[in-house]
Amino acid sequence: MNSSTATTVFLPIALGIIMFGLGLSLTVADFTRVVRYPKATIVALACQILVLPALCLGLVLLFDLEPALAVGMLLLAAAPGGTTANLFSHLARGDVALNITLTAINSVLAVVTLPIVVNLALAGFLEGDGAIGLQPAKMLQVFAIVLVPVAIGMVVRNRAPEFTERMRGPVKIASVVVLVAVIVVAVYQERDNVLGYVGDVGLVAVLLCVLSLAIGYTAPRLAKVERRAAIASAFEIGVHNSTLAITIALSPALLNSTEMAIPAAVYGILMFLPAGLLAYWFNRQHSRHGQPDSAPQPIQ
């Protein structure tokens, strides 16, 4: 794929806006809050880092996806949650504070875990061509696009709280607009093949979302984690940062493949249905039974 202004300039800026918005919602306490939720955090991170890549690999092999699409699916599975997960958790009356903590920790861990998963996928499906992980220069780029905007957002929140309060709404709106724009870019660049790709990965993307949501809720509940924390885990595990996956796939300095970006683009559209239905169901369960541990939490 030839480099373009969209992939070399627009996409990194777009992801920067989203990650900056995430940083505006974080404080140092969000990282230390793990002490309050040790079991919930450990279970959720284990699902994200170990279970989801294995689950995605099983789906990829079961549906016999072509190699580039298989790598794109595993890239998506390795991507952390994001602000959209926090929104769904809020609507479902989950513990949004835990969501924010999990997003913060997952974003840091992804700098290491995401390149490892993608490298293994490249080695298995494409004989390692275009590997992004463990190469110092490319590892630094992943660090820059994931963590630097988050850190800037946290600094702005700490030093200019009034400005942060004014900016939260506009940044959230911009994040949604940017997400749609990124998906449009990915689909447009592969427009000649997009319908075939949607047919190939649409069902896999939906299954990954549904199974991730189910695992994200069931695993904590089996570990005796309280319901609101399990709801937060469900959306953190089930709603991935598709914008990050698309950016890494399209970036000329990283994977440089529109085909690898298609799974994340398709997922970014289709995941709203199962995630929205689950949030609605959790909300209805609360209204019907009035669980005291399901009170809504404000998005911080």
Secondary structure (DSSP) of 147-182: THHHHHHHHHHHH-HHHHHHHHHHHHHHHHHHHHHH
Q: Taking 90 as the threshold, does the pLDDT of residue 55 lie above it? A: yes
Q: What is the pLDDT of residue 8?
A: 59
On whether residue 296 sits in a domain, the answer given is no
On whether residue 295 sits in a domain, the answer given is no
Q: Taking 50 as the threshold, does the pLDDT of residue 1 lie above it? A: no
Banded model confidence at residue 7, pLDDT cuts 50, 70, 90: low
Number of independent structural domains in the chain: 1
Q: Taking 60 as the threshold, does the pLDDT of residue 202 lie above it? A: yes
On whether residue 66 sits in a domain, the answer given is yes
Percent above pLDDT 90 for the chain: 27
Q: What is the pLDDT of residue 2?
A: 41
**CA–CA gap between residue 187 and residue 171 (Å, rounded):** 24
Domain coverage including residue 222: 5-285
On whether residue 182 sits in a domain, the answer given is yes
CATH code at position 121: 1.20.1530.20
Q: What is the pLDDT of residue 222?
A: 95
On whether residue 294 sits in a domain, the answer given is no
Q: What is the pLDDT of residue 5?
A: 53
On whether residue 290 sits in a domain, the answer given is no
Higher pLDDT, 82 or 273: 273
Q: What is the pTM of this model?
A: 0.79
On whether residue 299 sits in a domain, the answer given is no
Q: What is the pLDDT of residue 217?
A: 95
Judge whether 127 and 56 are in contact, CB under 8 Å.
no
Higher pLDDT, 185 or 43: 43
